Structure 1
């Protein structure tokens, strides 16, 4: 299979509003989801290289040719899965269902290779799995650690999500996958001109290869606008303080982003949680953002702004602070 680009130990940070999401391995990967990430990687690596994983033959009885046939079927089924498997149990059922006509020993050997539950260990899933996402959420992002350079002001940031994430893995364009593998190989050969050209191709497509803890990770880029708040612009009073507070909250952290929609600039509009803390709540309570009531009528956001006003903290130390949306309008009209 080669080791040009390995996603097995990519970050699978799963911050939730409840704090710690569980045990993690030496590279920060959730030990509960290593097998799912590895399976997703090997399926799409097969599409590029037509090679099955090294070491698989030690777990199964069929030939390499037969193994290749399994991965072709798994690739086709994975792309059609809506959504693709996210948990070890879902991944096991996916493999069992896709390869149900193959030898039991081979199916169980493949599951064992990825450390996924064997058939006898699976419990019957509930008739309808409840969702934990609030009403109106279109999708959820679990991000890689946030870079300080990706935070331009107090209400906007750029985040990256690993393509080993089940939601992303089935949507990576084939040419991006191939460019990532070729870039890694070019760097290994010290052909940096070729590597830079391939990296530009990747970034132009909305992706990036990140190096985290000496592991290369192909990630998708998302620009996010914090839903329901409007922080002072950088050149406005308290603009610098708002940016610094957001940096302090999220720099180097994995975030949970609940995306509700998209604005006219193509940014995701969402609620951001970091280590169980609601970021917009903190920005409002510290007087470093306005409640953007024209686009969000949540009572709690209005209450947090009112509390900061009463305490005269942050931008509310001024008796009549300029509203950022009015400041932007004046700039557009040349006032």
Structure 2
């Protein structure tokens, strides 16, 4: 099996991008049946794998491009070759878009954009370069840091917040578990051993109410995980009911879903959330959100010059919410809404 076939098998096994589990796709479908919360890379991998076997391009592609089927077959042939030559296959929408754009350089702009639209992949102007790497030492002002368990998409409520869990097998967390949670955990384990699942469920709810949870992802040893609500420091995304609010949320979901995060906590806001810088696979989450035009630099609480520069870059290129000439600010929208 070639690289493309192996990668497609990898996708099917669910280690990368998963279709919805509701017997179909979600309501917000893109042209190829890709929901806003899933990656177009899944469909692209499928179609390239299918092309290797059948030499057939997707039937509906002609609705999005202007060139002939013969030209389309030539694109897919080139894309398969590029995929084979890649050191590793694309793992994100941005990487998949770059593969398509680079491979089809010199072809009609309308065709390239149509192909990207077909798979729900970002257009060239929305692709941004971000700096990689995390601080080697704790920056000034950091109170503590932790590393999370993989993030669930449902734990991202908007474009500047996320709920995460940290295993209590972590030394810092193990020393902070309340005694009543420890006792409930022991009693729950005993109840499950006795097959008294009603009591076990009651004890589990007690643990949840205390801000902890159990799950197969928490720890191989069966340790509970502690819940933290995070507010991304220095940015403010549109509220979900505002224009571009849903898109901002989706950008953060695409960045964080399934990833373990490094979180540097600077303090706590009035809602009890940790105000933090968040790093995902070596990428600074706030940088991505600002460069993609998915958030404002929250200057009332943050004066970092790089944040201002990243916002200005998105403004200048009219990316994301800056496609609007005068987007409404979240803090203005909230103040009017609360009157």
TM-score (norm 2): 0.58
Q: Deviations over 1:197-256 (max 9, x none)?
A: 101211121111122288433111110000000011111111111111111111111100
Residue 174, structure 1, aligned to residue 179, structure 2 = yes
Residue 142, structure 1, aligned to residue 147, structure 2 = yes
Structure 2 contact 167–219 (Cα < 8 Å) conserved: no
Q: Which among 292, 301, 306 is matched to residue 312 of structure 2?
A: 306
The 5 A counterparts of 1:262-277 are 262-277=268-283
Give the superposition deviation at 1:315: 0.3
Moved over 6 A (4+): none
Residue 202, structure 1, aligned to residue 189, structure 2 = no
Check 1:268–1:214 CA distance in 2 against 1; reply closer, same or farther (3 A cut): closer
Structure 2 contact 236–330 (Cα < 8 Å) conserved: yes
Residue 227, structure 1, aligned to residue 264, structure 2 = no
In the alignment, the residues of structure 1 paired with residue 223 and residue 261 of structure 2 have an alpha-carbon distance, to the nearest angstrom, of 17
Residue 258, structure 1, aligned to residue 264, structure 2 = yes
TM-score (norm 1): 0.59
Give unmatched runs, 5+ long, in structure 2: 1-135
Specify the alignment match of 2:299 in structure 1. 293
Structure 2 contact 149–167 (Cα < 8 Å) conserved: yes
Give the superposition deviation at 1:330: 1.0
Structure 1 contact 224–270 (Cα < 8 Å) conserved: yes
Report the 3-state secondary structure (helix = DSSP H, G, I; strand = E; otherwise coil) of the residue aligned with 2:215.
Answer: strand
In the alignment, the residues of structure 2 paired with residue 175 and residue 265 of structure 1 have an alpha-carbon distance, to the nearest angstrom, of 24
Give the superposition deviation at 1:190: 2.9
Q: Which among 154, 161, 167 is matched to residue 166 of structure 2?
A: 161
Specify the alignment match of 1:322 in structure 2. 328
Check 1:301–1:213 CA distance in 2 against 1; reply closer, same or farther (3 A cut): closer
In the alignment, the residues of structure 2 paired with residue 188 and residue 301 of structure 1 have an alpha-carbon distance, to the nearest angstrom, of 53
Check 1:159–1:311 CA distance in 2 against 1; reply closer, same or farther (3 A cut): same
Structure 2 contact 169–219 (Cα < 8 Å) conserved: no
Q: Deviations over 1:96-140 (max 9, x none)?
A: xxxxxxxxxxxxxxxxxxxxxxxxxxxxxxxxxxx8100000000
Residue 191, structure 1, aligned to residue 208, structure 2 = no
Structure 1 contact 176–202 (Cα < 8 Å) conserved: yes
Give unmatched runs, 5+ long, in structure 1: 1-130
Residue 237, structure 1, aligned to residue 243, structure 2 = yes
In the alignment, the residues of structure 1 paired with residue 267 and residue 190 of structure 2 have an alpha-carbon distance, to the nearest angstrom, of 38
In the alignment, the residues of structure 1 paired with residue 149 and residue 335 of structure 2 have an alpha-carbon distance, to the nearest angstrom, of 35
Residue 211, structure 1, aligned to residue 216, structure 2 = yes
Report the 3-state secondary structure (helix = DSSP H, G, I; strand = E; otherwise coil) of the residue aligned with 2:224.
Answer: strand
